[in-house]
């Protein structure tokens, strides 16, 4: 039961985090003035005091349709009453339909999918598929990549601090610079796969030059290595394209998805592969990669509804238009305050402001929160503040968020002036 007194609730939550979850994280969140989220709808989150926040962190890319989309909730409710979880011993209707719809939307001949519960599991599945399909072990990835924190995904991620305590990681992994396909021929010669994000999200919103993924495709073909596009964050409209790969009009061999796939209502992940790749791996062993909860009815019902909303409400187009507005606005603030923001970059509604010093985020994000707007850090590159609102965001909401960012940056500039 939630207590009605906002102060009591905040104290209770902090104590629970401190005693039973993660004491250092609890202290950092308290110091940065993190409120308690109690309700969310559309682009708005309400805290324990009833204060509304415009959500420009967007759950790090989960809430593509906004929070609590009524069509997705209705689909999940209806499914829960019929059957929530598959027993896995019989054919299941919604899993089949979700897989079919995903194959219709995915580029080229990407067709056979495996459904799991998170992004990192989707990456694990893609790595295993690549090894089984090619008979090769080596996986090539990029510096600053973020693919998740289970062992395989962590091994191909590109941040030492997350890896060091857990070594040894997966053997036979090589990392190359992101955005430069000229380095690939040599390293891919004996590789099972190259895994790459169409835009690096956690790496600091790094947008590669146009044509990079096309060159990746060609290098993978020359080497007989598979091309895995990790679209966990960039997929399903985020970058102003249905998939990040569409920017270069390329078809990877395997694509991973999660985050926005179920519209932010039920945990879900998936990888989808070309039939020849899938068959090379699993035609004779259909049960070597499975998951008890993967492809649950409620996740698939949510995913089906979310994919319909994404297409019918033309959210990809909105992401492109509002993304252009947001990036232009952040660039203008950067031009006004070059001592605080070094540069801005982004694609669609994945926009980053690179600060001149990592510490300034600790001034700007709390100021934005005070003004009623959330923004996010990036996990691998804390100099970059990330703006990743739901794809349903309006032009007026983008202006409001820009106003909050400008105020936060102005405060940082003022503090700098006083130092």
Residues interacting with ligand PLP, by CB under 6 A? 60, 118-120, 123, 146-148, 197, 201-202, 230, 232-233, 258
Nearest approach in angstroms of CB 125 to ligand PLP is: 12
Indicate the pairing of strand 138-142 with strand 52-55.
unpaired
Question: Closest CB to ligand PLP among 319 and 413?
Answer: 319
Give the whole-angstrom CA distance, residue 223 versus residue 375: 41
Question: Closest CB to ligand PLP among 62 and 333?
Answer: 62
List of residues 6+ apart from 368 with CB closer than 8 A: 56, 374, 375, 401, 404, 405, 407, 408
Nearest approach in angstroms of CB 173 to ligand PLP is: 15
DSSP lists the bridge partners of residue 140 as 174, 194
Query: How many Å is the maximal CA-CA distance in the chain?
Result: 69
Nearest approach in angstroms of CB 267 to ligand PLP is: 8
With H, G, I as helix, E, B as strand and everything else as coil, classify residue 142.
strand
Indicate the pairing of strand 254-257 with strand 269-273.
antiparallel
Residue with the shortest CB distance to ligand PLP = 119
Nearest approach in angstroms of CB 49 to ligand PLP is: 29
Question: Closest CB to ligand PLP among 329 and 390?
Answer: 390
Q: Which of 146, 155, 135 shows the shortest CA–CA distance to 196? A: 146
Q: Which of 125, 173, 132, 133 shows the shortest CA–CA distance to 150? A: 125
Question: Closest CB to ligand PLP among 198 and 329?
Answer: 198
Give the whole-angstrom CA distance, residue 401 versus residue 372: 9
Question: Closest CB to ligand PLP among 156 and 192?
Answer: 156
Q: Which of 214, 211, 213, 171 shows the shortest CA–CA distance to 192? A: 171
Nearest approach in angstroms of CB 410 to ligand PLP is: 30
Nearest approach in angstroms of CB 147 to ligand PLP is: 5
Question: Closest CB to ligand PLP among 69 and 147?
Answer: 147
Nearest approach in angstroms of CB 339 to ligand PLP is: 30
Question: Closest CB to ligand PLP among 264 and 408?
Answer: 264
Sheet arrangement for strand 226-230: 112-116, 269-273, 254-257, 226-230, 191-196, 138-142, 173-176
């Amino acid at each position: 039961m939630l207590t009605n007194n906002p102060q009591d609730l905040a104290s209770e939550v902090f104590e629970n985090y401190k005693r039973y979850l993660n004491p250092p994280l609890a202290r950092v969140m308290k110091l940065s003035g993190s409120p308690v989220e109690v309700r969310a709808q559309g682009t708005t989150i309400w805290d324990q005091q009833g204060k509304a926040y415009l959500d420009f962190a967007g759950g790090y890319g989960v809430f593509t349709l906004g929070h609590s989309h009524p069509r997705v909730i209705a689909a999940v409710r209806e499914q829960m009453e019929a059957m929530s979880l598959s027993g896995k011993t019989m054919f299941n209707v919604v899993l089949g339909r979700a897989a079919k719809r995903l194959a219709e939307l995915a580029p080229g001949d990407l067709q056979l999918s495996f459904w799991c519960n998170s992004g990192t599991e989707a990456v694990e599945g893609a790595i295993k598929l690549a090894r089984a399909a090619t008979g090769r072990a080596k996986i090539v990835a990029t510096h600053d990549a973020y693919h998740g924190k289970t062992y395989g995904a962590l091994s191909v991620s590109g941040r030492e601090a997350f890896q060091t305590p857990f070594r040894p990681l997966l053997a036979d992994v090589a990392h190359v610079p992101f955005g430069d396909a000229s380095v690939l021929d040599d390293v891919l010669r004996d590789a099972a796969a190259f895994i790459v994000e169409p835009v690096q999200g956690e790496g600091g919103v790094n947008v590669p030059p146009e044509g990079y993924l096309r060159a990746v495709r060609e290098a993978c073909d020359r080497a007989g290595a598979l091309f895995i596009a990790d679209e966990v964050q960039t997929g399903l409209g985020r970058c102003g394209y249905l998939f990040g790969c569409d920017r270069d009009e390329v078809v990877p061999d395997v694509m991973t998805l999660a985050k926005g796939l179920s519209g932010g209502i039920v945990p879900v992940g998936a990888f989808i592969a070309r039939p020849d790749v899938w068959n090379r791996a699993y035609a004779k062993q259909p049960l070597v990669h499975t998951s008890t909860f993967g492809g649950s009815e409620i996740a698939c019902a949510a995913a089906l509804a979310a994919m319909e909303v994404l297409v019918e409400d033309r959210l990809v187009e909105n992401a492109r238009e509002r993304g252009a507005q947001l990036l232009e606005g952040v660039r203008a603030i950067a031009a006004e305050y070059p001592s605080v923001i070094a540069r801005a970059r982004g694609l669609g509604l994945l926009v980053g402001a690179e600060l001149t010093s990592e510490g300034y985020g600790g001034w700007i994000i709390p100021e934005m929160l005070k003004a009623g707007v959330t923004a996010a850090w990036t996990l691998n590159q804390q100099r970059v503040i990330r703006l990743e609102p739901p794809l349903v965001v309006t032009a007026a909401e983008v202006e409001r968020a820009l106003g909050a960012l400008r105020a936060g940056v102005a405060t940082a500039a003022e503090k700098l002036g006083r130092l």
